[in-house]
Amino acid sequence: MPADPRKRTLAAMLAALMLAGCGGADSGPDDHDHASQDSLDHDEDHDDHGEDHEEGEARDDHDHESEGDIVRLTAAQAAEAGVRTTVATSATLSDRIELPAEIRFDQDRVAAVASQVNGTVARLYAGEGDTVAEGEVLATVSSRELAGMKADFLTARTREALALAGLERERVLYADEITSMADLQAAEAAYAAAEADREAAENKLHAIGIGHDELDRMHEAADGALALSSVRAPLSGTVIARQATLGASVTAGDGGGDALFRIVDDSVVWADIAVYKADAPLVREGLGVELVSGASETLARGQIALVLPVIDETSRTATARLILDNPAGRMRPGQFVSALISLPAGRSGVVVPDAAIQTVEGHLSVFVPVEEGFEPRPVDTGQSSNGQTEITGGLEIGDAYVSEGAFTLKAQLEKDAFGDGHVH
């Protein structure tokens, strides 16, 4: 009996499905392996690309470091930007330099006046602004300590006189063979001791300023006068400060007591000039100086008396000093002036326009042409005048440098550095 056509068709479809399932099962691992291989190949390619990228960045960084601070410009670009170069030549330098100075008191003409003894202020004779003469009494101090010292002196002087009289009597008696040598020697010893006591008491009084004239008149002093001590001016000048007040307790100066008066003599003053490092080799003793006020008024002329051999730790400057007569008081201590120092004629050196000097990475620099463009070169500077600055190091005669457009190059350099993540 012939087969049913529908059964044959169903059987064929089942066989096809089975073959398809087997084929899918066989092809699955191959496809998986291919996908895995593709993924591995992709990862390796990615790793290779990453390594190439890192190597490229390293090469870029290395290339950037080797370039240094160079502004890359062609000759045409530089000309268009207004950059002009000039060859450094020797030029005659200015015959004087201008430096800041300060008027100060002559320290040999300043006095801090303290009491010589402990006590209280009994009287005041001078105040701030008063002009006093050397030796003039400024104040009187009442002192029990002083009264005791004077009493000790008077006692010692009396004992000395008695001992001397006893010695002279023993000498007469010994000469008449009435007394013994032992008695004479005892009298001599007593006199020597009394004399030593008087000298000790006298020296204590001399130490606090009491002279022989006052000692000789001491026995004539009125009641209470032995306790009074005079505070005198040690020099002529003006009282610029007074700390003493009536009735106030005072301590002797050698005991740490404060000064009661401060006196200055401004008839002679100092002018201390601040000398910068670059100018230090030019400034020496004997150079002429003109001092000018802020109003361009000439205050004085003189010569440098000395140059101190130390550098101020704060200002990093040396000090050149003038000692000047100031009879009219035109110069006031604390006043700031300009010092115009005359230099030897005929000096020469390299000078450049002020605008050619720029600060790059904290250093004064000039731009110089190089093969790739322009780069900054640190320089040492000297004096400046009339828009020109002396170059004392870093640029030699014959070297080319940018005389115009240096600021433009600096701006471009900072722009490039900012883009690279660096700051100049």
Write the pLDDT tens digit of every residue in 68-102: 588 998 888 989 999 999 999 888 777 788 999 99
Q: Residue 144: inside a domain, yes or no?
A: yes
- For 201-230, write each residue's pLDDT tens digit: 999 999 988 888 888 888 777 877 889 999
The CA R_g of the chain, rounded to the nearest whole Å, is 49
Question: What's residue 92's pLDDT?
Answer: 77
Residue whose tokens read 């008696």: 173
Domain check: are 294 and 175 in the same one?
Answer: no
407, 376 Cβ separation under 8 angstroms: no
Rounded distance between C-alpha atoms, residue 264 and residue 111, angstroms: 6
Tell me which of 42-51, 217-226, 228-237 is least confident: 42-51
Q: Residue 16: inside a domain, yes or no?
A: no
Domain check: are 297 and 229 in the same one?
Answer: no
Domain check: are 201 and 298 in the same one?
Answer: no
- The last residue of one of the domains, among 322, 342, 362, is 342
What burial letters (b/e) apply to 83-119, b meaning 16+ CB within 10 Å? beeeebeeeebeebbbbebbbbbbeebbbebbbbbbb
270, 334 Cβ separation under 8 angstroms: no
Question: What's residue 27's pLDDT?
Answer: 42
Domain check: are 243 and 253 in the same one?
Answer: yes
Rounded distance between C-alpha atoms, residue 141 and residue 247, angstroms: 9
Whether the per-residue pLDDT at 37 is higher than 60: the answer is: no
Confidence of residue 241 (pLDDT cuts 50, 70, 90): very high
Q: How many domains does the chain have?
A: 3
Q: Residue 290: inside a domain, yes or no?
A: yes
Cβ neighbours, 10 Å, residue 367: 29
Domain check: are 131 and 257 in the same one?
Answer: yes
Whether the per-residue pLDDT at 152 is higher than 90: the answer is: yes
Residue 213 structure tokens: 């004239």
Selected residue with higher pLDDT from 291 and 43: 291
98, 339 Cβ separation under 8 angstroms: yes
What does pLDDT average to over the chain? 83
Q: Per-residue pLDDT averaged across 156-181, rounded?
A: 93
- Specify the pTM: 0.60
Q: Residue 7: inside a domain, yes or no?
A: no
Q: Per-residue pLDDT averaged across 170-195, rounded?
A: 93
Confidence of residue 417 (pLDDT cuts 50, 70, 90): low
What CATH number did the domain enclosing 375 receive?
Answer: 2.40.420.20
Confidence of residue 63 (pLDDT cuts 50, 70, 90): very low
Residue 211 makes CB contacts below 8 A (sequence gap 6+) with none
Domain check: are 183 and 157 in the same one?
Answer: yes
Q: What angle do CA 376, 381, 385 make, to 5 degrees?
A: 120
Start-to-end Cα distance in the chain = 104
Confidence of residue 332 (pLDDT cuts 50, 70, 90): very high
From 150, 172, 165, select the one nearest 195 (Cα to Cα).
165
Selected residue with higher pLDDT from 247 and 255: 247
Q: How many CA atoms lie within 13 A of 80 on its CB side?
A: 5
Question: What's residue 348's pLDDT?
Answer: 79
Question: What's residue 418's pLDDT?
Answer: 62
- The last residue of one of the domains, among 298, 325, 342, is 342
Whether the per-residue pLDDT at 44 is higher than 50: the answer is: no
Q: Per-residue pLDDT averaged across 52-76, rounded?
A: 56
Length of the chain: 424
Question: What's residue 53's pLDDT?
Answer: 43
Residue 291 makes CB contacts below 8 A (sequence gap 6+) with 101, 271, 298, 299, 300, 301, 302, 322, 324, 331, 337, 338, 339, 340
- The last residue of one of the domains, among 214, 240, 264, is 264
- For 358-413, write each residue's pLDDT tens digit: 999 999 999 999 998 999 999 998 877 778 888 989 999 999 999 999 999 999 88
Strands (E), 243-355: 249-250, 261-264, 268-275, 288-292, 298-303, 306-307, 318-325, 336-342, 348-353
Domain check: are 212 and 335 in the same one?
Answer: no
**Phi, psi (deg, nearest 5) at residue 78:** -65, -45
Domain check: are 278 and 136 in the same one?
Answer: no
Question: What's residue 423's pLDDT?
Answer: 46
Q: Is 2 helix (H, G, I), strand (E, B) or coil?
A: coil
Rounded distance between C-alpha atoms, residue 387 and residue 356, angstroms: 10
Question: What's residue 281's pLDDT?
Answer: 85
Whether the per-residue pLDDT at 419 is higher than 60: the answer is: no
What CATH number did the domain enclosing 240 receive?
Answer: 2.40.50.100
Q: Residue 24: inside a domain, yes or no?
A: no
Whether the per-residue pLDDT at 6 is higher than 50: the answer is: no
Domain check: are 192 and 164 in the same one?
Answer: yes
Question: What's residue 282's pLDDT?
Answer: 85
Range of the domain at 79: 71-93+347-419
Q: Residue 27: inside a domain, yes or no?
A: no
Rounded distance between C-alpha atoms, residue 251 and residue 245, angstroms: 13
Domain check: are 102 and 115 in the same one?
Answer: no
What burial letters (b/e) apply to 217-252, b meaning 16+ CB within 10 Å? ebeeeeeeebbbbbbbbebbbebbebebeeeeebeb
Cβ neighbours, 10 Å, residue 60: 10
**Phi, psi (deg, nearest 5) at residue 125:** -120, -10
Residue whose tokens read 């190091």: 393
What CATH number did the domain enclosing 270 receive?
Answer: 2.40.30.170
Share of the chain above pLDDT 90, in %: 59
Question: What's residue 346's pLDDT?
Answer: 61
Rounded distance between C-alpha atoms, residue 152 and residue 145, angstroms: 11
Q: Residue 301: inside a domain, yes or no?
A: yes
Whether the per-residue pLDDT at 296 is higher than 60: the answer is: yes
Q: Residue 66: inside a domain, yes or no?
A: no
Domain check: are 78 and 122 in the same one?
Answer: no
Domain check: are 218 and 239 in the same one?
Answer: yes
